[in-house]
Amino acid sequence: MTDPLYHLTWLPRPLMQQVETAVESGLQGTGLTVRTRAVMEVLLQGPLPVPALAEALHIQRQYVQVLVNEALAAGFVCKQANPRHARSHLIALTPNGSALIEHVMTQEHTLLAELAGDLPADEVATALRIVKTLITRFQSHNQGLTP
């Protein structure tokens, strides 16, 4: 089958596998895993409760709690009182966690710039828009489906 849209819908998985391998390599010696790194990246925007982190990452709340517990144990994040919900703490980066994730992301951006090379910015923007649109449309389609 040579339908470009069909191929586009299946290419993100091998791309993510390659990106994860590169990210994992860059995390050696930091104490971070790829998944804990993802939690910390979201927290750069500010403190969030675990359910909001799960929503932002599109993964189950229980798994995010495991990742948060790992980050708490490592001292990368801390709990803060949540004025909106007494039992659901806000999770925030510690100064050490913030410095670490910023350093890691700077390295990742440098690598990405090297690898992107001559990719035209307008085509990258178009690809991003198309992928985001497909995600939204599949989410809408899948809302009524039962597993």
Model pLDDT for residues 32-88, shown as the tens digit of each residue: 999 999 999 999 999 999 999 999 998 999 999 999 999 999 999 999 998 888 788
CATH class of 41-105: mainly alpha
Mean of pLDDT over the chain: 93
Please identify which residue in the block is written with the tokens 């993802």.
38
Count of CA atoms in the C-beta half-sphere (13 A) of 47: 15
Phi-psi label, residue 31: left if phi above 0, alpha if psi -120 to 50, beta otherwise: left
At residue 77, the 3 state secondary structure works out as strand
Parse the chain into domains and list their residue ranges: 41-105
91 pLDDT more than 80: yes
Distance CA 45, CA 25 (A): 25
Q: Is residue 147 predicted with pLDDT exceeding 70?
A: no
